[in-house]
Chains A and B, each alone.
Chain A
């Protein structure tokens, strides 16, 4: 493999890492702060992508508006789902998994029946291609990196600097104590879950141009996002970022050498081994035990 090809793979791998970070952030937040595995997450990506298609491609709204609509719609959907279904199953792992899987099934089959099997294509909002020597990158991928960094920064700000973020963290640390202080933890749960779902919708809308929008879009992200969560752990957002980079860069480079499926298998094996060595995630925050 030549040097230029390697650098090309590394660059696309890096942009891919940010995309993976964006697509798994919602999952990490819901798992990390609520101990709920949201199997419907990847189907929310699919829903977000469809929203982006109808808002941006069909209705010709500006792309930022499409992102905002996707976030808002998924957030509201999250509120409904949390109040109706998820809130009954806190602390019951099997039931949560089954319930969220049922939701994902309903979403996927609903999309199939509503929108049909046809592929939809969303145009690139920006179409230039940057070239640096032999390495090129589509400008939209740079935009995606930007979106991803923005979302990460906002999430960090939201969780660590705002009042509601403080409530979220305190609910995670000690629910009964938080309740004693007069904070409605049920409302906090709803907000946390809906925020995670909203991020999933936003990410789905953002990745719509680089993927074919179809009912099975969620499935193709399932493996990578869940591997990412397992490897990065849930205790720090930085761990998620690091594991996104590791996973996507290795997949990108190994795909260049053989093919993407072999790459995924090798990465999964590595993830299994890493999880054994660092069960709490790559970068564990110092917690008192």
Chain B
């Protein structure tokens, strides 16, 4: 038997930095690092000398100056005398608003279309294919400006609702008005409201949170927890006796009754929009820029989500369905207990990236004048203050934070449903 020994270590020579594979990787990395640092240094020195020529020292002081422009769609109070920082904050909230609304609707439509595309019904499957291909193959910006144009050109102006014989009427028993300036929908109001909490005092990041809303949410969460306890108890009884007690009426009661009691206690009612003068007053006013962006982003992303859902369901082998059927499960149970839990593992990772895409695409709001972070900070603030470097840097960091947060949260969820391999 021969023994293998390392070759005797010679003295270190400079050429070993290139020819010896032990040192070469270090050499390459250091060269790469120096090259990148040089590039960054070069860019920074260029920037510094360019900015000095322009007489603009980088500073973030402009964030404290009065913005001087109005933002017409906002979630928190804002006047044009507020600071640029406040305007940017309004923009961030608007971005989050449209992203959240879009994600919810896109998921609903996407799951619906994806499942229907797998239908054995030929006509339905073809119709859904048509939908998916039309929306996927046309740029989202085109959908956004197109939806906006359609809303403006085809819907009636508010003054057409006036008069004894109006040309346009409100929908759903005079509660919803679709006009070319935006949608007016009923607003939830509380006659015995328990007030708001004011967060962050008088700083630019101040905002109010309605205690009523918190109470409603807390009640709902508690109800759902109790409902899930009931389900678990039913599971236990079923495991012990083989008979599953009927629980749906209990669960329904637990969810509906406390909520109804709370709403009655708070004096809940809907504030309807009504025509006063030339425009509607009351209700929630959603400008058509928001509607157009929301609709277009939802429909566009839904087409991608539909494909993801379809691929996820197709990825589950037919043997799983057959095995479940052989165990005697009914078709609905097969879907909910066998197919969906497995399909979700395939669906969730690409779904996360679709949510991220939707959030990033919401920056196209600037094309229709919806005041999100791109419209406020990187739009008007940039133009008014001339601080290109600072505004774009902050804007990018905000998007980066939002993206990383979404992907972090969704990855945690993904880990929770991931296949546990032993």
Chains A and B come from one and the same complex: no
Q: Name A residues whose Cβ lies closer than 8 Å to a Cβ of B.
A: none
